[in-house]
Structure 1
Amino acid sequence: MMSKQESHKNWRRKLAWVACVLAIVVVVLGAFTRLVDAGLGCPDWPGCYGHLTWPNDTEEISTANLIYPDSPVDVSKTWPEMVHRYFAGSLLLLVLSLTYLSWQQRRSPTFKHTNILLLIIILQAAFGMWTVTLKLWPQIVTAHLLGGMTTLSMLWILCERLADKPRQLAESYLPAIKRLRPLALVAIAVVIIQIALGGWTSSNYAALACPDFPTCHNKWWPAADFVEGFNIAQQIGPNYLGGALESDARTAIHLTHRIGALLVTVIVLMLAILAWRTGFRAWSLWLTGALLLQVSLGIANVVMYLPLGIAVAHNAGAAFLLLSLLTFTYRIYALKAITVGRQDTDTNVQERNVNLSGVSNLN
């Protein structure tokens, strides 16, 4: 029979998985909202033209237009914005529930993790509000994207921690794992930076600043204004819908994102090769597949002129690549060494069997 503590942990585990799935939906909906230019579909917050949903009938729309003459109602933009807010609000409630459960088990290893997660999602809600009130200021939009990815990552790792699967390997195998760990952390860092660059590219409407590939404006190094493109001290407002930068500044942003993609490709492939040589072949193939999918979607965005479906998938692909790296890195850091007896007469055969056992436990 399951003990009270085990039952409590089981509930937290299930709730964390539901929250994680919901966070993925919120990230995808956020990308969709941004890409259909619905970020200002509702000029107020948290409601929409003073409604809990959005204006639907003729009378409601006429009244809303009188109150907000500078932001006429566009139903094709109001519903994506409000649906995104509803899902984000539901996620906040789930995280609050997880926090409440964690306070009932304060000695749990995930107690601090859950409370930090709550603070992050509250800050994320504030960024959502500022996205509207500051009229799509690129700094806030990019921070909002990073906040969404952070929330998703924290929930994903929480699920990993609550799974509490013992992963052990032979002591002789630990040096090989230690060689993987620094490169895995570097890979995570460059992917996070690349996601931030992607957010900056999107929030400044620079996704099509280079309409060709692999060149840009039929040049390998076209005219680009990096100072203006990355001027994070630019003035607020009045409205950044459609972007406010000149062509050369947008080109600089797009070029930087491409360079970042090249760096991510090199680092992740290096990690995948090292993982293959170390014995983690399933993970090597997984990381390579996630990387190639994301690079392919990025190229398709350019050559197909940013089709909505592929653009949304590119955002989801970034989350998929990040979560893949986080899972792999968390698991190789969570591995604990155990002492395994060796036979002097057959050391090599025994070490090979132990290595395969360690890989199986990690996967």
Structure 2
Amino acid sequence: MSMYRRLVFLALSLTLAVVVFGAYVRLSDAGLGCPDWPGCYGQVTPAHAAEHIAEAESAAPGGPVSLPKAWKEMIHRYLAATLGFIILVIAALAWRQRRDPDVRPGIAVLLVGVVVFQGLLGKWTVTLLLKPAIVTGHLLGGLATLSLLALLAIRAGGLRRRFASPALVRLARVGLLLVLVQILLGGWTSTNYAALACTDFPTCHGSWWPAMDTANAFHVVRELGMTATGDLLSHEALTAIHWAHRMGALVVTVGLLGLMVGLTKQGFGRMAALLALVLAGQVGLGIANVLMSLPLPLAVAHNAGAALLLLVMVVINTRLMPGRAWGVAGSKKHENAYA
């Protein structure tokens, strides 16, 4: 295996770890464990900033700053910085090997831009005090990095493409779009701390259509826990955020079930089974988080499940090649075709 291929798969694995660990940092309220950037009170490690951290913790016991929270935040930054360096090396190698058909230098260069912007979002997440729009954007940036690395890994790994009916290809693309929108809604729910706005299931506050304030719920430019006018965000607004995520889960489930049927009918049974497994796990985790009041391990697992579901959808969409005159014979004839 070439150095380029090894680094691509290493970066893909590390990105998944960074996304999941970032969720752990956020869900354990450690996002402001070090309130400056890129260091911790201007120091390289929390150990060097222990005195400042102790002063902040003494001034606000139980607040956002403590030594354990600072270490969580800084470990996430160390992992992200390591990933950024690896991606720079991947881009350099991809440019040198740009004539190799299994290398995509354009995607590698795009990745560098995404990582730079992701670093800025990480900085603004801290310096702008966890504004929901910035935190959600940071999450989406991480998943964009994961998706682009998946494309590089699929190509470098020589995964073969197969012809499918245009209708199935369109269904797969719609499914990917639905998953992306649902991840956005999930990120918005998490960053606004609305995961427990509804504590019963399948109803919310005993109702199939609870009282909601959608206007303030989805106003993007505002402070955490506040409306755009500076008032406290109401429980009705948090309910609207949570309920939108639930409705999104229902739409995604229906859409992906249709995709599974189409995949099975056209000979992609293994992909359909993998999609069913990941989707069932993700739905189960979502329900369990509500009924069990958001235990940290399950909440982190739910974030990991979203990343895995996105990866599966990227693989499916990359694997399917639309054929103008698709049929059983055509599928068999071209099943080993490359992109």
In the alignment of these two chains, the number of paired residues is 332
CA contact (8 A) 1:38 1:77 kept: yes
The residue identity in structure 2 corresponding to 1:207 is: A
Is 1:156 the counterpart of 2:150 in the alignment?
Answer: yes
- Selected match of 1:143 from 121, 137, 140: 137
Identity of aligned pairs, percent?
46
Question: How far, CA to CA, are the matches of 1:276 and 1:121 in structure 2?
Answer: 37
Structure 1 gaps, min length 5? 1-6, 169-173, 340-350
Q: Shift of the alpha carbon at 1:178?
A: 2.2
After superposition, the C-alpha distances for 1:40-70 in whole angstroms (9 at most, x for unaligned) are 111000011222110468646456679999x
After superposition, the C-alpha distances for 1:189-241 in whole angstroms (9 at most, x for unaligned) are 01001101111001111000001100001111111000010011325899xxx
The residue identity in structure 2 corresponding to 1:110 is: R
Question: How far, CA to CA, are the matches of 1:90 and 1:57 in structure 2?
Answer: 22
Structure 2 gaps, min length 5? none
CA contact (8 A) 2:132 2:222 kept: no
Equivalent residue of 1:261, what SS? helix
Matching residue of 1:102: 94
Question: How far, CA to CA, are the matches of 1:256 and 1:179 in structure 2?
Answer: 28
Matches within 5 A, 1:22-61: 22-55=14-47, 59=51, 61=53
Equivalent residue of 2:194, what SS? coil
CA contact (8 A) 2:30 2:64 kept: no
The worse-fitting range, judged by mean Cα deviation, of 191-200 and 243-252 is 243-252
Question: How far, CA to CA, are the matches of 1:93 and 1:57 in structure 2?
Answer: 25
Matching residue of 2:190: 202
CA contact (8 A) 2:122 2:138 kept: yes
Is 1:12 the counterpart of 2:25 in the alignment?
Answer: no
Is 1:326 the counterpart of 2:306 in the alignment?
Answer: no
Question: How far, CA to CA, are the matches of 1:68 and 1:118 in structure 2?
Answer: 39
Q: Shift of the alpha carbon at 1:105?
A: 2.7
Is 1:260 the counterpart of 2:248 in the alignment?
Answer: yes
CA contact (8 A) 2:43 2:49 kept: no
Is 1:116 the counterpart of 2:110 in the alignment?
Answer: yes
Matching residue of 1:85: 77
After superposition, the C-alpha distances for 1:87-139 in whole angstroms (9 at most, x for unaligned) are 00000000011111123234455011100011001100100000000000000
TM-score, reference length from structure 1: 0.83
After superposition, the C-alpha distances for 1:323-356 in whole angstroms (9 at most, x for unaligned) are 00110110113x889x9xxxxxxxxxxx868756
Question: How far, CA to CA, are the matches of 2:120 and 2:21 in structure 1?
Answer: 18
CA contact (8 A) 2:161 2:336 kept: no
- Selected match of 2:275 from 283, 287, 293: 287
User: CA distance change for structure 1 residues 279 and 62 in 2, over 3 Å: closer, same or farther?
Assistant: closer
Question: How far, CA to CA, are the matches of 1:99 and 1:134 in structure 2?
Answer: 31
CA contact (8 A) 1:48 1:55 kept: no
